[in-house]
Chains A and B, each alone.
Chain A
Amino acid sequence: MDRIKKGLSIFAFFFKIGCFTFGGGWAILAQMEQEFVNKRQIITKSELLEMVAVGKSAPGIMITNISLLFGYHVAGVFGGLCAVFGIITPAVIILSIVTLFYNSFKDNYWVHAGLTGLRAAVVPIIGSAALSLGKDALRTPPAVVICLAAFCLSMFAGVSNILLVLLGVIGAMLWWGSTLVKKERVPEA
């Protein structure tokens, strides 16, 4: 009974988040941070970023992957399923309706005006999440260097996100291996 209750509340949370996830999905981050890190303190900033890293690297849709990881973390497989169905339900309902009224919708003057305003808010929404998560992830100089290097590779060399994460994982494993050989104390990561 408790599990079903938990699953339902996860579904409800993600349903709400799904209604407001505009702009390529990264806006989910800001909402999860507000809802689960700040307000309810279910996960830490650090855990949220870990879920994003894993969700982005797994195949499929990043947002549903992150939802699944969160749901699984909180309430196992059932929780994961509830989170995924929660986040997609608004999209499916809205898209089904829009598909039916596609032609009158796409050329509507007022719809267009509202959406232009809405699009202007996507960058600040993602930016506020980046600011707050960055404070957590970039506490040490090496972390800042890694972030800047990855940013340059992505912006100026067109390296894809997946490749960036892969390079990071390989680098981290080499780093781990080298400290094993040196038998150094593992620093707090």
Chain B
Amino acid sequence: MIYIQLFLSFMKIGFTSFGGMSMIPLILEEMTSHGWMTAEDLSNLVAIAEMTPGPLGINCATFTGTQTAGFLGGFIAVLGVLTPAFTLTLVIAVFFEKFKESSVMRRIMFVVKPICIAMILSVIVTLSSTTYFVEGTVQPFSIGIAALMLYLLIKRKWSVPKVIISSAMLGVIFYGVVPMVRG
């Protein structure tokens, strides 16, 4: 039964990974061992997942499930990858709400919160290096868009959806219309 196999595969992926790119090797292993996908399919999948909104894990599950067993397959794969959230994380949530005022939890959070900021900073550095310097060349339009959006977000208090839509429109102008006019 393909649906049960899909569910079990993605449940395994969910429990053994921590989201984002860390899921890719696990997905590759599961997909090739079942013969559902090749490595090339998977790299296409990563490209799509990055182009579309939503968590990479959900995007991967939807794409794989839909490709192998239609829309129902996609839905089942998504449920599989969500199993850790509905079980383990739910238990953690219950305990966390109960004990977050305890003195040991306050200490843990005092230490873990700055670590969280550090994780976000390293994501920013990694993303900047691939977005604004593509294969060794500086991307002036991208840097310009980024600077403008930073100003709008912080000084003008623009909302994230507004920023996303306007930067996509600027992208169409600078990376679509401008190169076309220049020939």
Residues of A that sit less than 8 Å from B by CB:
16, 18-27, 29-31, 34, 46, 49-50, 52-56, 58-65, 68-69, 72-73, 77, 80-81, 84, 87-88, 90-92, 94-96, 98-99, 102, 105-106, 109-131, 133-134, 137-138, 143-144, 146-151, 154-155, 161-162, 164-165, 168-169, 171-173, 175-176, 186, 189
Contacts of A55 in B (CB 8 A): 89
> How far, in Å, is A38 (CB) from chain B's closest CB?
8
Q: B113 touching A49 by the CB < 8 A rule?
A: yes
Q: Does B35 contact A (CB under 8 A)?
A: no
A25 contact from B19, B92, B106, Cβ within 8 A: B19
Residues of B that sit less than 8 Å from A by CB:
14-21, 44, 47-59, 62-63, 66-67, 71, 74-75, 78, 81-86, 88-90, 92-94, 96-97, 100, 103-104, 106-125, 127-128, 131-132, 139, 141-143, 145-147, 149-150, 153-154, 159-161, 163-164, 167-176
Main secondary structure of the interface of A (DSSP, over half): helix
Q: B63 touching A46 by the CB < 8 A rule?
A: no
Contacts of A31 in B (CB 8 A): 159-161
Q: A88 touching B161 by the CB < 8 A rule?
A: no
Q: B118 touching A147 by the CB < 8 A rule?
A: yes
Main secondary structure of the interface of B (DSSP, over half): helix
Q: A60 touching B85 by the CB < 8 A rule?
A: yes
Q: How far is the CA of A161 from the CA of B53 in the complex (A)?
A: 23
B153 contact from A53, A99, A128, A169, Cβ within 8 A: A128
Q: How far is the CA of A116 from the CA of B51 in the complex (A)?
A: 9
Q: How far is the CA of A39 from the CA of B31 in the complex (A)?
A: 43
Contacts of A58 in B (CB 8 A): 84-85, 88-89, 92
Q: B120 touching A29 by the CB < 8 A rule?
A: yes
Q: How far is the CA of A61 from the CA of B85 in the complex (A)?
A: 8
Q: A124 touching B119 by the CB < 8 A rule?
A: no
Q: B115 touching A165 by the CB < 8 A rule?
A: yes
Sample of 20 A–B contacts (CB below 8 Å): A25-B19, A31-B160, A46-B109, A56-B18, A59-B84, A61-B58, A68-B93, A91-B59, A92-B62, A92-B75, A102-B48, A114-B168, A118-B171, A120-B132, A120-B142, A120-B143, A124-B163, A130-B124, A172-B107, A189-B110
Known: A162-B18, A173-B104. A50 touches B109 (CB 8 A): yes
Extra contacts, 5 of them, besides A114-B171, A150-B119 (Cβ < 8 A), are: A49-B116, A58-B88, A60-B17, A60-B18, A84-B82
